[in-house]
Amino acid sequence: MKTINQLPIYQIAPPRIARRSFLGGLAAGIASTSLTGRLHAASPNGEVRVAVLGAGGKGSQLASYLDKTRGAKVVMVADPDSGRAESTAAPYHAKAVVDLREAIDSPDVDAVLIATCDHWHCLAAIWAIEAGKDVYVEKPLAHNQWEGRQVVEAAAKHGRIVQLGTQQRSDPMQAQIREFLHSEKTLGEIHYVQANRLGLRGPIGKRSEPLAFPKGIDRDLWFGPAAVEPLYRNQLHYDWHWDWNTGTGEMGNWGVHILDDVRNVAYQDTQDLPDRITVGGGRVGWDDAGQTPNVHFALLETKTFPTMIALSNLPVEPKQKGAWKVSSASAADQWPQNAPGSGYVVVCEGGFYLGQRGSGQAVDRDGKVIRKFHENTDMIAEHLQNFIDAVQTRDASILKAPIENGHFSTGWCNLSNVAFRAGESFSQEQLMSQTDFAPWSQMVDSMTSCLTKYGIDPQTLKSCPTLVHDTASERFVGDNSDAANQFLRREYRSGYEVKAIS
C-alpha cells in the first residue's frame, strides 16, 4: 500500500467546567428557545428522571428499557407527532408533550434520551447539555461531522454525562475479542478489515404529488434544523433515513454500529478518524424518491491498517430473498465461507475473526473454527444502566461509549457519505489509481459484479477520487477537498441553528 502521510493526532482537551446555563421558558412561537441561569432540582429519591425525545420505534423501545433500569424513571415523552408521544408516555404515567424544548426546559427532568430523526440529534443534545441535562443520544451522533464536534465541545464545556447509543460497547464479549486479537495474537498480525452491511431493503416509493403532511404532527418541529421540503416518498416516518435532508442513509443507520465495532475491537480505539477515503456507489435498481445509496463501498485508510466497508440493500438477484456475498480475496478458498452479512471480517496473518452483533468466531485459513465468542447479555439494558450509573455517580470515566468516541465512530460513516456526495461519474480506474491495496480492487470487482444480475452497468454509479483527511482539523485537504468540505456542515433554519461552541 502506498505510504500515508503522517498527520497530527487530535489532542483531546480536558473538560472545561463552565457555569451551567439552562433553557428558560419557551419563547412565543415554536422557532426560538431562550436561556436562563435557573438550576433544576434533583429528584428527591435519587432517581434519574428521564425525558424521551422521539417516540418512534426506537424511542418506544428505549422507554420500555428505561422503565426497567435501576435508578431511572421515565417522566416525559416529546414528539412532534402528538399521538406517538401520548401512546409512548401512557404506560409510564409520563407527561406527553409535542415540543422537545418543553422537556429540556423542565425542572423535573434530569436527563434526556434522544431517539429523534438523525437531523435532530445534535441540536437536541446541545440544547439539553446547555440546560444542565445529561444526555443519552442514539446513533449516529450527527447528521454531519461539524455538528457532532459541537456536541463533544458542549459536553466538555458544561461537564455533562453524554453517552452514544452504540450499545454493543456494553457487551463484555468485546473485551474478550480484543484480548484474543491483540494480546494472545492467536491469528497473528492484522492485515485489514472488511466490514459488511449486506441487508435487504425495498424502495420507498415515488409520488407525482408531494405527500400530504399527516394530521396531528407539528410540521415545523418535525423538520426542525432541516430545510422544509416537499416529500415525494410514500410515508413520513422511518423513510426519512434515505433523504439527505434528514437522514444519513444505510451508512449512518447500520454502518455506525459495525464500524464502531471495528474501531473498538480491531483498532482498540487507537484510530480516531481515517486519513484517506476512497468511495464508490449509487442508488440503483429502484426508481424511488430516496437519495442515499443502496450500494456503497469505501476504503478507509489509517496509519496502521485499512478498513473497507461493503454496503448493499439489494437481494442477490431481483425478486430473491438472499443478500449479496462480497469478498475481498482473489479466490473463493481464500475467503471465509460464512463471512457475516451484517458484521465484519478481521483478516489476519493466520486466519479470520468473524464478528457480528452478539457473537463471533475465529477461523484459520482452512476454515477450521479456533474459538467462538458469545455472552448472554442484553446489550441495550446494560448500556442504559451504564449511562444511569454514570449520571448518578457523576463519573463520566465509566461510560462505555463516551461522546467523543461516538463522534469518531460516527465520523467514519459521515466521511464515507461525504465522499459519495462529492463523487462524480464512475471510474474504476480512479478508485484504484491512488492505492495498490489489492483487496480493495477485489472488493470493488465483487460489488460491481453483483450488479450484472440486475443488468445494471457500473457506469451508472458514482465514484470519488481519494480524499485526504486531516484528523486534527477534521477537514479534507489537498486535491478535491473543496468538493468534499462543503458537506461537512449544513445550513440551519432560523431558530434551529447549531452554533459553534467556544
188-218 residue pLDDT tens? 999 999 999 999 999 999 999 999 999 999 9
pLDDT of 28 above 70: no
Name which of 309, 261, 259, 315 is nearest 285 in CA terms: 315
Tens-place pLDDT, residues 132-188: 999 999 999 999 999 999 999 999 999 999 999 999 999 999 999 999 999 999 999
pLDDT of 5 above 80: no
Say yes or no: do domains 22-169+381-402 and 171-377+409-485 share a fold: no
Percent of the chain scored above 70 by pLDDT? 91
Q: According to CATH, what is the number of the domain 22-169+381-402?
A: 3.40.50.720
Confidence category of residue 30, pLDDT binned at 50, 70, 90: very low
Percent of the chain scored above 90 by pLDDT? 88
Looking from the CA of 50 toward its CB, the CA atoms found within 13 Å total 35
Largest CA distance in the chain: 68
Omega cis (within 30) before 140: yes
CA separation, residue 188 to residues 11, 181, 350, 364, 397 (Å): 31, 8, 6, 11, 32
We find that the CATH architecture of domain 171-377+409-485 is 2-Layer Sandwich (3.30)
The 3-state secondary structure of 297-335, one letter per residue: EEEEECCCCCEEEEEECCECCCCCCCECCCCCCCCHHHC
Asked if residues 446 and 328 have their Cβ atoms less than 8 Å apart, the reply is yes
According to DSSP, the β-strands at 307-312 and 190-198 are parallel
CA 356 to chain centre: 16
pLDDT of 8 above 60: no
Name which of 249, 215, 208 is nearest 232 in CA terms: 208
Q: What integer pLDDT is reported at residue 43 of this predicted model? A: 61
Q: What integer pLDDT is reported at residue 42 of this predicted model? A: 56
Residue 409, H or E segment: helix 403-421
CA separation, residue 48 to residues 22, 25, 230 (Å): 18, 22, 40
Average pLDDT over residues 388-410: 98
Confidence category of residue 40, pLDDT binned at 50, 70, 90: very low
Count of other CB atoms within 10 angstroms of residue 123: 25
Q: What integer pLDDT is reported at residue 434 of this predicted model? A: 87
Average pLDDT over residues 118-125: 98
According to DSSP, the β-strands at 22-26 and 190-198 are unpaired
Ramachandran sector of residue 132 (left: φ over 0; alpha: ψ -120 to 50; beta: rest): left
Q: What integer pLDDT is reported at residue 46 of this predicted model? A: 86
Residue 139, H or E segment: none
Asked if residues 273 and 412 have their Cβ atoms less than 8 Å apart, the reply is yes
Tens-place pLDDT, residues 436-450: 999 999 999 999 999
Domain boundaries, the chain: 22-169+381-402, 171-377+409-485
Distance CA(267)–CA(328), nearest Å, equals 20
Cα radius of gyration rounded to whole Å, the chain = 22
Confidence category of residue 44, pLDDT binned at 50, 70, 90: low
The set of cell numbers assigned to 42 is: 434533583
Tens-place pLDDT, residues 244-256: 999 999 999 999 9
